[in-house]
Amino acid sequence: MRKLTTILIASLFVLAAFSCGGPKKQAAIAPADTVDYSKLVTHGPKKRIAIAEFINKTQYAKGRIGTQASDQLATHLVKSNAFIVIEREQLAKVMGEQALGQTGAVKGETAAKVGELLGAQSLITGSITEFGFTQGTTDGGLFKKKVQKVRAVVNIRAIDTSTGAILFAENGEGVAETEDTQVFGFGSKSGYDETLNDKALNQAIVKLVSNIVKNLDKVQWSGRVVKVTDSGKLIINAGQETGLQMGDTFTVSKLGEMLTDPETGMSLGREPGETRGKVKITSLEEKMSICDVVEGQGFEAGDQIKMVD
């Protein structure tokens, strides 16, 4: 009789569990799994930025999670509407990301090349410094629970392409986990949940986005002269998509020489360039603008422009 009662009670447990949808795999993701883009405040025109493929410094998933992390950051920064993000294919042609992945370092000359050829004001590099997976099982007799957890730490650096100097460095941590519950052997018996990798990386990236926006907003916007026409007008590499408007005025300066420390070989940045004059936008297109000279002379393609406050 007692045995029958036990079986009946156990059956009721199983019936109750499955009547509520049955034991399931549940993902327990930290609350901040996305960015509230409406709270990101920026000033002035959109800055052009480039994002290098991140380096995986861990022993896990070689060749995959670095790409995942940099793609996620690019997606969030595009959605922020604060930047014009340069496509990775263009960046790879300029700087050779394979060499970057082997060394994890960016020389000042390389950053300057990204600025000159792609018009990027900042180059963001990153690395996954920690990536770990843990799994635990709790056996409660009637119930068994398996918990899988992934933890990721991502470090990023933003480099000024005009000077080669590091503007700022940040790191973010992300954790994602799932639970598999079984009742009397019924329920999920799945293996490793590959989606945890993406979710943990996303958590880490999300924690970086607002600081990236805030720090790069402090950097003065700049652009380049693409061409000086025969009639003396200047064509610059920014237009409507950047947020420029008719009548915006800029100072124009010659790019200073990139200086290198003779002892260490490290880039020290550019020396200040000679100011050539001022120009004003008189015609706007999507990706470029045409400017009239307000004052000055001797303008050349490649000169740097900065907005007059």
Q: What is the pLDDT of residues 197-223, one digit of tens each?
A: 889 999 999 999 999 999 999 988 999
Q: Which residue has the higher pLDDT, 280 or 137?
A: 280
Residue 215 near residue 168, CB atoms below 8 Å: yes
CATH fourth-level superfamily of 37-217:
ABC-type transport auxiliary lipoprotein component (3.40.50.10610)
What percent of the chain is predicted at pLDDT more than 90?
41
Average pLDDT over residues 157-182: 84
Q: How confident is the prediction for the chain on average, in pLDDT?
A: 80
Average pLDDT over residues 32-51: 86
β-bridge partners, 249: 280
- Biggest distance spanned by C-alpha atoms of the chain: 105
CA 166/CA 206 separation, integer angstroms = 21
Which of 31-45, 105-119, 219-233 holds the top average pLDDT? 219-233
Residues in the chain: 309
Residues of the chain with CATH 2.40.10.410: 222-307
CA 256/CA 201 separation, integer angstroms = 39
Residues of the chain with CATH 3.40.50.10610: 37-217
3-state secondary structure at position 47: strand
The answer, yes or no, to whether residue 191 has pLDDT greater than 70, is no
Residue 41 near residue 211, CB atoms below 8 Å: no
Q: Which fold has domain 222-307?
A: Thrombin, subunit H (2.40.10)
Count CB-CB contacts under 10 A for residue 62.
9
Of 34-43, 89-98, 194-203, 239-248, which range is least confident?
89-98
